[in-house]
Amino acid sequence: MTDDPPSPALLPAGLADLLPPEAEREAALVEAMVEVFARHGYERVKPPLLEFEDSLFAGSGAALADQTFRLMDPVSQRMMGLRADTTPQVARIAATRLARTSRPLRLSYHGQVLRVRGTQLAPARQVPQAGIELIGPDLPEADAEVAAVAAEALVALGVTDPSLDITLPRLSPALLDAAGVEGEARRRLARALDRKDAAAVAERVRDAGRAAHVLPALLAAAGPADIALEALEEADLPPAARAIADNAAAVIAAIRARAPVLRITLDPVEFRGFRYHTGVAFTVFGPGATGELARGGRYMSGEEPATGMTLYPDAVLRAVPAAPRRPRVFLPAGADAAAAAALRAKGMATVAQLSPDDTARSLRCTHVLDAAGVPRPIKE
């Protein structure tokens, strides 16, 4: 036993310091993402980290109430929440501060969010986000735009061959509603679908209404978009489900028109984790085991239809090759100031000697500015 206080480097679970050079790399990634967004007409907004919880949980924000840290505002004596996602805040801005701005409204953002719990695969509770929201049009072309712009941003950052996974979170509920599946039977069937347990799904639809009998075939069709779309086209769907399937086909056609080389998969019966989406939902993956790089889809922004995509810079950082580090040039005492300024203008970092103890190696420099004003590499 020891009574020593915990190390000041010890942080709460799910929180971490980001050190050099990763912190600079992440910042550069975010700015590169936002630049791609800006080139497509998305204007940046910056919502606050904290909001009153009654506005933070309005609309789509209600789905994140159990993931939100709360605290009392000592000024107003009202409860506030630390944002767990930025999309509901952008929706609030669109509905209030930008209510009179013409639609479609294209907005972008970046910042940190904080969540009560991480997941087994993504334990971090503080997560950087950068994203776009397209508010106003309820059109397949709008969904296609946010998917294509997100993919373009990832490719620009060095993600090779990203893939877009599309899900239809309202399709399974529509089929279960039409089949009259309720109560415990509905919970068991939903659990089997969630687990991708084909045998259990096939067994549980036997006693369900006719509309549910297409679920095993749709579960098996998950994969390349063409195969899944063919299964949806051939399925005997009730009107509400048919409208969802037809919209998915229109969205995929619009995406292919904008991004013909983007790989697209479709899982018609997946609904996990999409609690506020009202149409197609998107997840973007990188090559290999890079995990989710982006997520989004269609939702309601207050009373307006909207669609958007959130990119995760920390995941993207792991998926792209490490960029060359910025050269660090050691400036000995009395070094030429004009030469140093010229190096900074070229994107190099200059590190000045402040005392005789400062050396190029102790300051982790890669070059030394010589008497002629030329940066010379430090030999290993």
Q: What is the pLDDT of residue 273?
A: 61
Q: pLDDT band at residue 274, thresholds of 50, 70 and 90? A: low
| Mean pLDDT confidence for 241-259 | 98
- Residue ending a domain, among 127, 159, 191, is 159
In a domain, 6, yes or no: no
* Residue type at 311 in one-letter notation: L
If one compares 232 and 120, the residue with the highest pLDDT of the two is: 232
In a domain, 295, yes or no: no
Domain count, the chain: 3
In a domain, 349, yes or no: yes
81's enclosing H/E stretch is strand 79-82
Same domain, 154 and 176: no
Whether 214 shows a pLDDT value over 70: the answer reads yes
In whole angstroms, what is the distance from residue 224 CA to residue 242 CA?
20
Same domain, 27 and 148: yes
Task: Look up the pTM and report it.
Answer: 0.91
* DSSP letter (8 states) at residue 102: P
Q: Could you read off the pLDDT of 117-167 as tens digits, one per residue? A: 988 778 899 999 999 999 999 999 999 999 999 999 999 999 999 999 999
Whether 250 shows a pLDDT value over 60: the answer reads yes
Q: pLDDT band at residue 322, thresholds of 50, 70 and 90? A: confident
Q: What is the pLDDT of residue 1?
A: 52
Q: Could you read off the pLDDT of 58-93 as tens digits, one per residue? A: 877 888 889 999 999 999 999 999 999 999 999 999
In whole angstroms, what is the distance from residue 227 CA to residue 225 CA?
6
Same domain, 30 and 153: yes
Same domain, 155 and 207: no
| Mean pLDDT confidence for 299-318 | 94
Whether 321 shows a pLDDT value over 90: the answer reads no
Same domain, 181 and 60: no
Same domain, 191 and 128: no
- Residue ending a domain, among 130, 159, 188, is 159
Name the token pair of 227: 């195969």
Whether 351 shows a pLDDT value over 70: the answer reads yes
Contact 296, 282 (CB under 8 A): yes
Residue 54: count of CB within 10 angstroms of its CB: 12
Whether 4 shows a pLDDT value over 80: the answer reads no
Residue 192 CA, distance from chain mean position: 27
In a domain, 279, yes or no: no
In whole angstroms, what is the distance from residue 76 CA to residue 307 CA?
34
Q: What is the pLDDT of residue 175?
A: 95
Contact 118, 81 (CB under 8 A): no
Q: Measured between alpha carbons, how far is residue 345 from residues 342, 359, 374 in Å?
A: 5, 23, 14
Indicate which CATH number applies to the domain containing 113: 3.30.930.10
Q: Which domain holds residue 356?
A: 328-377
Same domain, 110 and 148: yes
Same domain, 223 and 140: no
Mean pLDDT of the chain: 93
Same domain, 154 and 204: no
* Alpha-helix residue ranges (DSSP H) falling in the chain: 22-39, 53-56, 87-95, 140-157, 171-179, 183-194, 198-204, 215-220, 225-234, 239-258, 313-319, 337-345
Same domain, 45 and 77: yes
Q: Which of 242, 231, 328, 269 is nearest to 21 (CA)?
A: 328
Peptide bond into 104 cis (omega under 30): yes
Task: Beginning with the edge strand found earlier in the chain, give each strand of the sheet holding 375-377 in spatial order.
Answer: 349-352, 328-331, 367-369, 375-377
In a domain, 300, yes or no: no
Whether 369 shows a pLDDT value over 90: the answer reads yes
Same domain, 206 and 254: yes
Reduced to 3 states (helix: H, G, I; strand: E, B; else coil), residue 137 is coil
In a domain, 312, yes or no: no
In a domain, 286, yes or no: no
In a domain, 141, yes or no: yes
Give the relative orientation of helices 239-258 and 140-157 as an angle to the nearest 10 degrees: 40
Same domain, 91 and 53: yes
In whole angstroms, what is the distance from residue 119 CA to residue 128 CA?
16
Q: Whole-angstrom distance between the N-terminal and C-terminal Cα of the chain?
A: 45
- Residue ending a domain, among 96, 126, 159, is 159
